[in-house]
């Protein structure tokens, strides 16, 4: 079942059409430099995830992070004590909202629709808070979030496997090129050249600079 229904579509029983402002408290992140530490502390989140540590935290618990400036289309789900930078918002869900469900919904928001006409992409808190959402009852929110947790984990595992396969094939491709260029599969007398980046070459080969050819 879709977690967002188009305007005019009848809602399933128990669902209600509302806005984000009625589901979360959207707060501003802060500059982290005064609280930055090199060891220990709490994670500092930017739009790309954790990248620093802080001696203090802004919130303890579940939250959805939204980009305020720059990268605005990559919401993050966090749980625990954290600090987030001043170019992001952090949304604290109310008691009747499943944070994980809200995170998955947040990934469907058409952020480009809300981008302000400035050199650096940005979204206002009021625009974000006013975004509509079709909200199921809490037990359904949790069921949908559980399902999406399982399915996205499977997909992420498949993506990781494909990336590993691609890396293996790229290495094989390069090895095939080098084997052909340096005649590595040819049975002949070979010598090791003085150039450290060259493998052993057939004894009859000459090494020249490109401009001398």
> 200 and 148: one domain?
no
Q: Decide if 1 is inside a domain.
A: no
Q: Decide if 96 is inside a domain.
A: yes
Structural domains in the chain (count)? 3
> 175 and 189: one domain?
no
> 176 and 190: one domain?
no
Task: Say what the pLDDT of residue 210 is.
Answer: 75
pLDDT tens, residue by residue, 126-154: 999 999 999 999 999 999 999 999 999 99
> 125 and 147: one domain?
no
What percent of the chain is modeled with pLDDT above 70?
A: 94
Domain that holds residue 34: 16-136
With beta carbons less than 8 A apart as the criterion, state whether 68 and 89 touch: yes
Residue 62 reports pLDDT greater than 50: yes
Q: How far apart are CA 17 and CA 90, in angstroms?
A: 22
Lowest mean pLDDT among 41-50, 116-125, 152-161: 116-125
CATH number where 123 lies: 3.90.220.20
């Amino acid at each position: 079942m879709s977690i967002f229904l188009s305007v005019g579509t009848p809602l399933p029983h128990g669902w209600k059409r509302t806005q984000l402002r009625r589901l979360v408290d959207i707060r501003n992140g802060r500059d982290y430099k005064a609280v930055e530490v090199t060891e220990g502390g709490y994670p500092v989140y930017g739009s790309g995830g954790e990248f620093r540590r802080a001696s203090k935290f802004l919130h303890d618990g579940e939250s959805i992070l939204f980009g305020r400036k720059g990268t605005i289309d990559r919401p993050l789900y966090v749980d625990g004590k954290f600090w987030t930078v001043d170019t992001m918002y952090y949304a604290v869900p109310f008691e009747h909202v499943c944070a994980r469900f809200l995170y998955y919904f947040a990934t469907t928001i058409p952020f480009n629709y809300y981008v302000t006409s400035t050199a650096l992409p940005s979204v206002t808190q009021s625009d974000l808070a006013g975004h509509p959402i079709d909200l199921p009852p809490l037990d359904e929110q949790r069921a949908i979030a559980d399902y999406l947790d399982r399915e996205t984990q499977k997909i992420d595992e498949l993506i990781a496997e494909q990336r590993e396969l691609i890396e293996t094939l790229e290495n094989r491709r390069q090895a095939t090129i080098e084997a052909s260029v340096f005649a590595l599969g040819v049975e002949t007398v070979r010598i090791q050249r003085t150039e450290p980046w060259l493998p052993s070459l057939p004894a009859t080969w000459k090494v020249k600079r490109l401009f001398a050819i």
